[in-house]
Structure 1
């Protein structure tokens, strides 16, 4: 437990975070996240955050050392996609019971579970996650994992991030620490080259990274490791031989990017694959970092040629949507990198931004929003459901982009809604992803259902009851049909 406390303090004191550097020594020790409220979910616990970061490693067995409910509440918590292995979709848990806790059988049960997984599936590695219960009773998972690794001849990685230690974001960073300590650098590749890069904080939601990787392939750039989206254990173990890295979600794995730069001299930058301009800029910065690390400068010219070609194709496709979406107002209720990258992407096609949430955004994210929107009046730290409903019901926005938890607010306000968070069904990254995002917004806004649900109900159109409400022809016809049916009797149907 003392080693866990040391890791937590190290994560809180993050030198690569602008916000953290601006604090005094006392404030820095408290960390970046607000303390958890007892009894509240607080958007996810540290265990949930660690599982989010590591579960998309697709060929690894993820074993939860805990009572059954812990795994049941965290399984498949993101829409990450795999191009091959499906082992990560299998739920493994030691299913600890009260009797196991009382009799002190936790460590023995964990060792037995590791053996069963190794014999049945033969994975390249097993990740073991303790939760609140097993951490509080003092099960030494690091000792068990070390013994199992020696016994069965495969890596068994302890991910020490029990839920009670903090927020989901802290769990993200503790997962990065586990990779640094037990995985990255443990295998030496025999094919390292000058065009190898890492992509950090990319989760391949709905297969988004598959829209970006072909662009890198055309430039001859190989993704040594995408952490964690569609990753393989061997790729991550060799990630220390990449020449450059791109950080997609800084709040999740900034500590991983910084320490890899310190240990293995892998420079990184923070970028986004959302939007045409940001995708082009990300490709440029990747090429520039590779040239600084010794790659042939001719890649810069090939990058510009690729950007010009892809941008021309994307703008031609988007031209059809501009007349339909010009001046439409969007409310973005999300956070992190999407709080500025999606804003920039939508404004490129003439869509007006009436507000964007910055609850999970870093100081750098907020500064980017100010530069894009020219002020901070459209930024809100947190908007209550009541405020969201008031804004939408007053027609201050034509559509809301958010996660699934707030979709019913938009539906109640009879306003179009589009899922932009991890549960989304469509990929929005890269040039093709931007076209798909605009297409989905167009479909949502111009769906005829919204015109219908905003019309008065037929029973509200009776002249004697609500004379002030105008009725359409369809409303009047429906009302007459209802009245005619109400006047029928059982005899009309030939019944007694």
Structure 2
């Protein structure tokens, strides 16, 4: 536990984070969030964050050393996609019971589980995750992993991020530390070249990185490692031989980017593949970094030619949507890099942003939003469900872009909704992804179901009766009423 405590303190003191640099020495040691109560998720614990970062490594066996519920809570919590291996979709856990805890059988059971996975699946590596229970009872995960690696002849990587040590974001960074300590730099590639790059913090949600990679391929740029989206263990082990890196989500793996720059001189920048302008700028910065590291300067010209060609194509495709979407009002209830990159992308086609949340966004993210919107009134830290419903029901936005947790608020307010978080079904990155995002917004806003939902129900439509109906209950009066209305037409009734 003392080793884990030292790692956490090191992660808290992140010099590449501007927010962290602005604190005094005492505040910096406390980190960005308070430690959690054991067993309390609080929106995502450290174990959950570590699993999010490492599970998309698709050919690795991910073994959870814990009671069954820990694995059930964290399995498949991101919509990442794999181009080939499927082992990452198999759930492995030691399934500790109360008897195992009382009798001290945790370490023995873990070693046995590693052996079974090795014999049945033969993965290139096994990642082992302790959780609150196994960390509190004192199982020496690192010692077991080291012994298993020597015994079975394959890397067994301990990922020390039990849930109670902190938030999901802290778990992201601890996962990066595990890769630095046990994986990156352990294999020397025989095909390193001057156009190799790393992409950090890209999760390949709905396969959207596959819309960007062909652009890099056309420039002759090879992605040595995409961490973690659609990654392979061998690629990550060789990632130290890349010439440059792009950071897609700085809040998750900025410590990984900074330490790779320190150890292996791999310069990095933070960029986005959401939107036309940001995608073009990301391609330019990648090429510029490669030239600084010794690549042929002719790649700069090829990059500009590719950007000009792709932008002409995408603007032509978007021209069909502009008349229908220009001036439409969008409310974003998301966070992180999407809080500014999606805002920038939508404003490019004339869509008005009436508000965007900045939950889980860095100081840099918030500054970018202010520069784009030119108004702080459209930025909110977090909007309560009641306030969100009131805003939508008053028709202050034509569509809500958010995650799945707020979709029912939009439906209750009879407002179109589109998922842009990790559970989404459509890729939105790159030039083609921008066209798909606009297409989905158009389909959602102009779906005829919304007009029908906003109309009064048929039973709320009352006929416009000329005279008050008789209130007698006699059969004679009832017959008289029927005869009176028998000759009426549709024009005699009011409209719904």
- Report the TM-score when normalising by structure 2: 0.93
User: How far off is 1:43 after superposition?
Assistant: 1.4
Question: How many Å apart are 1:463 and its aligned residue?
Answer: 3.9
- 2:401–2:420: 8 Å Cα contact kept in structure 1? yes
Shift of 1:37: 6.7
Judge conservation of contact 1:197–1:244 (CA < 8 Å) in 2: yes
SS of residue matched to 1:423: coil
With over 3 angstroms needed to count, the CA separation of the structure-2 counterparts of 1:490 and 1:12, relative to structure 1, is: same
2:339–2:356 contact (8 Å) kept in structure 1: yes
Q: Is the 8 A contact 1:257 1:268 kept in 2?
A: yes
Count of equivalent residues: 496
Give distance in 1, aligned partners of 2:6 and 2:81. Answer: 34
**Quick check: 1:461–1:475 contact (8 Å CA) kept in 2?**
no
Q: Is residue 60–residue 127 contact of structure 2 (8 Å, CA) maintained in 1?
A: yes
Aligned partners of 2:81 and 2:204 also within 8 Å: yes
Structure 2 partner of 1:206: 206
Q: Deviations over 1:78-119 (max 9, x none)?
A: 000000100000000000000000000000000000000000
- Cα 1:494–1:262 change in 2 (3 A) is closer
Go from structure 1 to structure 2 and tell me whether the alpha carbon gap of 1:155 and 1:324 turns closer, same or farther (over 3 Å shift).
Answer: same
Instruction: Using the TM superposition, give the Cα deviation of residue 246 of structure 1 relative to its aligned residue in structure 2, in angstroms.
Output: 0.1
Alignment of 1:67-106 (within 5 A): 67-106=67-106
Q: Is the 8 A contact 1:66 1:96 kept in 2?
A: yes
Q: 1:331 maps to which residue?
A: 331
Distance apart, 1:33 and its partner CA: 2.8
User: Residue 333 and residue 261 in structure 1: after superposition, are their counterparts in 2 closer, same or farther (change >3 A)?
Assistant: same
The 8 Å contact of residues 130 and 160 in structure 1, kept in 2 or not, is answered as yes
Summarize the Cα distance change of 1:464–1:163 in structure 2 as closer, same or farther, 3 Å threshold: farther
CA distance in 2, matches of 1:469, 1:205: 63
Shift of 1:465: 11
Change (3 A) 1:470 1:11: farther
Give the corresponding residue for 1:128: 128
Q: Deviation of residue 332 (structure 1)?
A: 0.4
* Alpha-carbon distance between aligned partners in 1 of 2:475 and 2:349, rounded to the nearest angstrom: 37
In the superposition, the TM-score normalised over structure 1's length comes to: 0.93
SS in 2 for 1:84: coil
Alpha-carbon spacing, 1:464–1:473, altered in 2? closer, same or farther (3 Å): farther
Structure 1 residue 35: Cα displacement: 5.0
Does the 8 Å CA contact 1:458/1:479 hold for their aligned counterparts?
no
CA distance, structure 1, for counterparts of residue 490 and residue 15 of structure 2: 80
Identify if the C-alpha distance between structure 1 residues 478 and 397 changes in structure 2 by more than 3 Å, giving closer, same or farther: farther
The structure-2 alpha-carbon separation of the partners of 1:35 and 1:94, relative to structure 1 and needing over 3 Å to count, comes to closer
CA distance in 2, matches of 1:475, 1:349: 67
Per-residue CA distance 1:457-480 (angstroms, 9 max, x = gap): 111112489999999999999999
CA contact (8 A) 2:96 2:106 kept: yes
The structure-2 alpha-carbon separation of the partners of 1:484 and 1:111, relative to structure 1 and needing over 3 Å to count, comes to farther
Preserved CA contact (<8 Å) 2:78 2:423:
yes
Q: Deviations over 1:22-79 (max 9, x none)?
A: 1111111111235547875321000000000000000000000000000011100000
For 2:323 and 2:480, the matched residues in 1 are separated by 40
Cα drift, residue 374 of structure 1: 1.0
Q: Distance in 1 between matches of 2:473 and 2:202?
A: 52
Distance 1:105 1:465, change over 3 A: farther
- Distance in 2, matches of 1:241 and 1:24, equals 36
Cα distance between partner residues in 1 of 2:199 and 2:452 = 45
Greater mean alpha carbon deviation, residues 370-379 or residues 294-303: 370-379
Native 8 Å contact 1:325 1:351 kept in 2: yes
| Secondary structure class of the residue paired with 2:474 | helix
d(CA) in 1 for partners of 2:200 and 2:473? 57
Deviation string 1:310-345 (CA, Å, 9 cap, x unpaired) is: 000000000000000010000000001000000000
Task: For residue 220 of structure 1, report the CA deviation from its aligned partner.
Answer: 0.2
- Residues in 2 aligned to 1:353 and 1:46: alpha-carbon distance in whole angstroms: 33
| CA gap 1:106/1:369 in 2 versus in 1, 3 angstroms | same
d(CA) in 1 for partners of 2:139, 2:475: 67
Shift, 1:488, TM fit: 21
Q: Any residues of structure 2 matched to 1:23-42 within 5 Å, and which? A: 23-33=23-33, 36=36, 41-42=41-42
Contact 2:38 2:164 in 1 (8 A): no
Question: Judging changes above 3 Å, is the alpha-carbon distance between structure 1 residues 469 and 295 closer, same or farther for their aligned structure 2 residues?
Answer: farther
In the other structure, the counterpart of 1:4 is 4
Provide closer, same or farther for how the CA distance between residues 487 and 60 of structure 1 changes in structure 2, counting only shifts above 3 A.
Answer: farther
**How far does residue 454 in structure 1 lie from its aligned partner after superposition?**
0.4
Following TM superposition, by how much is the alpha carbon of 1:399 offset from its aligned partner in structure 2, in angstroms?
A: 0.3
Distance 1:479 1:455, change over 3 A: farther
Q: Say if 1:330 and 1:397, in contact at 8 Å, map to a contact too.
A: yes
Pick closer, same or farther for the CA change 1:316–1:238 going to 2, 3 Å: same
| Deviates further, 80-89 or 33-42 | 33-42
Q: What SS does structure 2 have at the residue aligned with 1:73?
A: helix
Change (3 A) 1:473 1:332: farther
